[in-house]
Chains A and B, each alone.
Chain A
């Protein structure tokens, strides 16, 4: 009985590792497939997506599953073309980068709660004061000022 219990942490860890491996693997695939969709100007079939991936030996069903997941998450759109589905990116890469940065730079309370920014953007007058301080620092002696300690 004790032997079984001893193994529980190791089993849990193995399960967690396997899970995170699968998640990472899936994340890599999603990213690679989105890159293919962003590169292309036309909607692509599953076969064309497979063909454009650097990793060539992926099963057709794997690529299809990942495309399906991307469509469910809203990153890919699919449309019927005869008997096949064609996939394209729902928005450009730049649009997603902009969304990422805007949500990080937005300063209303709700966003602030989600992310912690290093320095919030400042008003024009404060920015001017900061620039002057920076110039003064550059001209001053470069002695290293230590903080207050702990």
Chain B
């Protein structure tokens, strides 16, 4: 059992340089969807391994896997407590192992809690957006299916949600800035976000960033996945619109700027718009099918390996 816990700890530790390497790699922009799946596998695998390693040290003498061991330990503690009193209990099991177990449970709870809190904040912000849009926005024949807000800054975004509650919003500034074909490209891009629920892909990485603001890898992972979902939506938009329209739309909206965000928020994303444009105008060949299959298998393995050490008894 100690061996399983050690392997899980090593696995969790290895996920960190693996994340850095993936963030720095060039191939993801040739197949954003495959890279997104690998990021998801890596994130989930790390969570399982980190929680499992801590819990595994706590329940080290049990022979029934980490999950079974933790359960057996808990039931034994409760059983002895009821019958034989607290002295033997304290002498026998309390100590570092219980602390490790508690830390594992805490980490699991914190990760779950942060995800729930991030989701709740998102739902609140979107509800406010929808209410304000219902009071302020109007339709426009130039952008069928989208809502227009009368504001001079150039902005285009979507409010993800279930089918009937999702919205695509174009500002009056963007309506002036872009021609008909570019507007259609923008809307095709936003539709792809809504249809493939990219917001749900990004949410766990935003939650991770909230939990580990000090961590460079969490920042890199978030920036990488944010860029990859944009590239994926660009690829989907190319099914309906020529690349050049999307590229000039990006150039115009990006160059218009409009707001000056604090530098900290921008630093991670610097160059993302330029990267998307150059990818549209000078497309690199997509990854071969075999490579995509390999990446998929790797993603499955990053989840399956810690999951196996967690559940299979040794």
Contact = CB atoms under 8 A, between A and B. Distances in A.
Interface of A: 20, 27, 30-31, 34, 73, 75, 93, 96-124, 126-127, 129-131, 133-134, 137, 144-150
A98 B132 CA distance: 11
A5 B180 CA distance: 48
Interface string B195-217: 00011001100100110000000
B119 to A, nearest CB: 8
Given A27-B134, A122-B254, A114 B159 contact: yes
Contact of A123 (B126, B129, B159, B270): B270
Contact of A126 (B198, B238, B242, B271): B271
B1 interface: no
B102 to A, nearest CB: 29
B286 A121 contact: no
Interface string B103-147: 000000000000000100110011011011111100000000000
B193 A116 contact: yes
Contact of A104 (B155, B247, B254, B269): B155
Contacts of A31: 134-135
B281 interface: yes
A134 B255 CA distance: 9
Interface of B: 30, 118, 121-122, 125-126, 128-129, 131-136, 149-151, 153, 155-160, 164, 169, 171, 186, 189-190, 193, 198-199, 202-203, 206, 209-210, 222, 226, 229, 233-235, 238-239, 242-244, 247-255, 257-261, 263, 265-266, 269-274, 276-277, 280-281, 283-286
A100 B149 contact: yes
B273 A119 contact: yes
A150 B255 contact: no
Contacts of B169: 104
20 contacts: A20-B164, A73-B131, A97-B151, A99-B132, A102-B259, A103-B125, A104-B169, A105-B153, A105-B259, A110-B122, A113-B199, A113-B202, A114-B122, A119-B254, A121-B254, A130-B251, A145-B243, A147-B238, A147-B283, A148-B286
A115 to B, nearest CB: 5
A129 to B, nearest CB: 6
B243 A146 contact: yes
Given A122-B273, A147-B283, A101 B151 contact: yes
Nearest to B280: A147
A146 B140 CA distance: 29
Contacts of B255: 122, 127, 130-131, 134
Nearest to A16: B164
A116 B157 contact: yes
A120 B272 contact: yes
A31 B234 CA distance: 34
A75 B128 CA distance: 12
Contacts of A110: 118, 121-122, 125, 206, 210
A116 B155 CA distance: 11
A30 B132 CA distance: 11
B158 A116 contact: yes
B160 to A, nearest CB: 6
Contacts of B253: 118-119
A86 to B, nearest CB: 20
Nearest to A74: B131
A114 B153 contact: no
Nearest to B233: A116
* A20, A75, A121, most chain B CB atoms within 10 A: A121
Contacts of B149: 97, 100-101
B250 to A, nearest CB: 5
B226 A112 contact: yes
Given A126-B271, A145-B242, A114 B280 contact: no
Nearest to A118: B156
Contacts of B263: 123
B231 to A, nearest CB: 11
Contacts of A120: 254, 269, 272-273
Given A27-B134, A110-B121, A115-B157, A100 B129 contact: yes
Contact of B150 (A97, A127, A133): A97
Contact of B266 (A123, A131, A134): A123
